[in-house]
Amino acid sequence: MLDLTHYINGDHQQGESGRFADVFNPATGEVEKRTPLATVAEMDKAVAVAKAAQPAWAAQNPQKRARVFMKMAMLLEEHKPAMAEALSREHGKTIEDSLGDIQRGLEVVEFVMGAPHLLKGEFTEGAGPGIDMYSMRQPVGIGAGITPFNFPAMIPLWMAAPAIACGNAFILKPSERDPSVPLRIAELFEEAGLPKGIFQVVQGDKEAVDAICAHPDIGAISFVGSTPIAQYVYQTATAHGKRAQCFGGAKNHMIIMPDADLDQAADALIGAGYGSAGERCMAISVAVPVGRETGDKLIEKLKPRIEELHVGPYTDEKADFGPVVTKAAQEKILGLIETGVSEGAKLVVDGRGFSHQGYENGFFVGGCLFDDVTPDMDIYKTEIFGPVLSVVRANTYEEALDLPMKHEYGNGVAIYTRDGDAARDFASRINIGMVGINVPIPVPLAYHSFGGWKSSSFGDLNQHGTDSIKFWTRTKTITSRWPSGVKDGAEFSIPVMN
């Protein structure tokens, strides 16, 4: 069995704690690797290295820093196929989906090539007599990222690229489920010319996360994962005086209006509901058809498509989606399906018995479809994070709108309609961070910002786009005066501009 490492000060370092987490191949159910779980002392070591390396990196001009990202983008492009293989082997998703995972991260690497422009401050000439006022953006110093299992390339790059381009050193604590790709990213950053200690990987669990939240030399923390942990990290980090942005779970609805193209809506639901086995924070897990006829027709279109889904290991090119990440995830999903049945929801497609020949120990769950789900049911309230779509029927547009409005989560939402008025009203009134109009997974591109509302996000600046530049920097505003021959007396009241 292979023992993975940390990546500290430009070196693969063995773990010193004697504690490890098993890394599975979810398709076979076998443990293939172990990842070390860091101690507080190991985290301290990485922070000390970052602290020593960061000032020289911040002192480089931003154009030179940006050039590292140009090289990094080329390296990611070159190594994408091998990285996708490693990613699928630990995560379970299809190769095509892993390529997308890396690509979405690479796009943020491309975005930060514009750091010299993005970091420009503001200037006011003649704010008063002989007075100029200007602001600059300076790095926070050391930033840390704590990431989930479901996008082991994209989310680390979403955090690290802007943090580093802004002149920070960055420490990544990736998910212990699929830690190989983050290590590869560290190697590629170094090949791209990033100095040692500016991007480090410290593997770990709660102990490492707590060490990050409490360390006095870490200035900003970005977290992505489930809502209870997002809330915990936000509270702990901010209690220690740190800046924090913490993104949590989701329950994304798609409203299907009676005038929608139902074939298009059904295709969108299949891709957005079952792609990556539903293990995406932007997966659609609730479909809300408006009107009985729309609901009946939609179920009629969805049922055969779901029954025909091809579930298989990542090595099967025909697979639409693969296994879920762990045995525990599989058991949780199967348990929630059982709950749905006992709550009285109608299980139209039952994927519980699914088994793949030759992969009987893999963590597979077949596609499931529930009809007649109601808002009081656990399967409606809980994030299932599996290949399970719930249909909640609504009689009117207002009734449909009310559902995502009242839901605890506010990550993504979509509406399918041909009516521009309804779409415009929906986009304006909905209390959710990312909205799709005839687009099922409205993940903003790198130069816009990504983030949810309500229990899907804690903190007030989003991932990538200009928000990320604000998050990873502090603003300093300078008021300067060069008086020529003016003699001032002492002034005891607050300066105002009359």
- The two structure tokens encoding residue 486: 């003016």
281 is catalytic: yes
Does the protein bind ligand NAD through residue 382 (CB under 6 A)? no
Q: Least separation, in Å, of the C-beta of 16 and ligand NAD?
A: 18
R_g of the chain, CA atoms, integer Å: 25
Q: Which H helix or E strand runs over 474?
A: strand 473-481
Going by the DSSP 8-state scheme, the letter that residue 113 receives in this structure is: G
Does the protein bind ligand NAD through residue 442 (CB under 6 A)? no
Tell which positions 107-166 bind ligand NAD, by CB under 6 A.
146-151
Cα dihedral 392/449/151/11 (nearest 10): -160
Q: Least separation, in Å, of the C-beta of 330 and ligand NAD?
A: 13
| Residue among 314 and 385 whose Cβ is closer to ligand NAD | 385
- 277 sits in the region (left: phi over 0; alpha: psi -120 to 50; else beta) called left
For residues 497 and 221, give the distance between their C-alpha atoms in angstroms, rounded to a whole number.
Answer: 39
Q: Least separation, in Å, of the C-beta of 154 and ligand NAD?
A: 9
| Residue among 257 and 283 whose Cβ is closer to ligand NAD | 283
Contacts of residue 208, defined as CB under 8 A and 6 or more positions apart, other chains included, come to 37, 38, 42, 43, 173, 202
Which residue from 35, 175, 200, 252 is in contact with ligand NAD, where contact means CB under 6 A? 175
Quick one: CA dihedral 289, 293, 299, 300, positive or negative?
Answer: negative
Q: Least separation, in Å, of the C-beta of 258 and ligand NAD?
A: 31
Strand partners for 473: 139
Does the protein bind ligand NAD through residue 229 (CB under 6 A)? yes
Nearest to residue 448, comparing CAs of 433, 437, 438? 433
Which residue from 90, 97, 371, 383 is in contact with ligand NAD, where contact means CB under 6 A? 383
Q: Least separation, in Å, of the C-beta of 331 and ligand NAD?
A: 14
Does the protein bind ligand NAD through residue 179 (CB under 6 A)? no
For residues 385 and 382, give the distance between their C-alpha atoms in angstroms, rounded to a whole number.
Answer: 9
Q: Least separation, in Å, of the C-beta of 457 and ligand NAD?
A: 7
Nearest to residue 155, comparing CAs of 174, 169, 179? 174
- The two structure tokens encoding residue 274: 């079952």
| Residue among 149 and 189 whose Cβ is closer to ligand NAD | 149
For residues 185 and 199, give the distance between their C-alpha atoms in angstroms, rounded to a whole number.
Answer: 9
For residues 498 and 495, give the distance between their C-alpha atoms in angstroms, rounded to a whole number.
Answer: 9
Tell which positions 240-299 bind ligand NAD, by CB under 6 A.
247-250, 281
User: Near ligand NAD by CB under 6 A, which window of 73-81, 83-91, 224-232, 298-306?
Assistant: 224-232
Number of residues that bind ligand NAD (CB under 6 A): 27
Q: Least separation, in Å, of the C-beta of 431 and ligand NAD?
A: 16
Going by the DSSP 8-state scheme, the letter that residue 419 receives in this structure is: -
Which residue from 117, 120, 206, 310 is in contact with ligand NAD, where contact means CB under 6 A? 206
- The two structure tokens encoding residue 455: 């229990």
User: Are 163 and 200 contacting, i.e. CB atoms less than 8 angstroms apart?
Assistant: no
Q: Least separation, in Å, of the C-beta of 227 and ligand NAD?
A: 6
Tell me how many degrees the CA angle 223-227-233 measures, rounded to the nearest 5.
Answer: 45
Q: What values do phi and psi take at 252, rounded to 5?
A: -95, 130
User: Near ligand NAD by CB under 6 A, which window of 23-31, 223-231, 298-306, 422-430?
Assistant: 223-231
Tell how strand 388-391 and strand 409-410 pair up: unpaired
Q: Least separation, in Å, of the C-beta of 315 and ligand NAD?
A: 24
For residues 469 and 344, give the distance between their C-alpha atoms in angstroms, rounded to a whole number.
Answer: 48
| Residue among 329 and 377 whose Cβ is closer to ligand NAD | 329
Q: Which H helix or E strand runs over 287?
A: strand 284-289
Does the protein bind ligand NAD through residue 456 (CB under 6 A)? yes
Does the protein bind ligand NAD through residue 170 (CB under 6 A)? no
Catalytic, out of 166, 213, 246, 281: 281
For residues 313 and 316, give the distance between their C-alpha atoms in angstroms, rounded to a whole number.
Answer: 6
Q: Least separation, in Å, of the C-beta of 300 and ligand NAD?
A: 30
| Residue among 13 and 35 whose Cβ is closer to ligand NAD | 35
Does the protein bind ligand NAD through residue 209 (CB under 6 A)? yes
Nearest to residue 171, comparing CAs of 181, 156, 184, 158? 156
Give the residue nearest to ligand NAD (CB).
Answer: 225
Site pattern 389..418 for ligand NAD (x: CB under 6 A): ----------------------x-------
| Residue among 94 and 150 whose Cβ is closer to ligand NAD | 150
Which residue from 385, 397, 471, 472 is in contact with ligand NAD, where contact means CB under 6 A? 385
For residues 483 and 493, give the distance between their C-alpha atoms in angstroms, rounded to a whole number.
Answer: 20
For residues 172 and 183, give the distance between their C-alpha atoms in angstroms, rounded to a whole number.
Answer: 10
User: Near ligand NAD by CB under 6 A, which window of 134-142, 218-226, 330-338, 342-350?
Assistant: 218-226
User: Near ligand NAD by CB under 6 A, which window of 11-19, 41-49, 222-230, 292-300?
Assistant: 222-230
For residues 8 and 372, give the distance between their C-alpha atoms in angstroms, rounded to a whole number.
Answer: 52
User: Are 401 and 431 contacting, i.e. CB atoms less than 8 angstroms apart?
Assistant: no
| Residue among 87 and 260 whose Cβ is closer to ligand NAD | 87
Query: Could you list the residues that contact ligand NAD (CB under 6 A)?
Result: 146-151, 173, 175-176, 205-206, 209, 224-226, 229, 232, 247-250, 281, 383, 385, 411, 452, 456
Annotated catalytic residues are 281
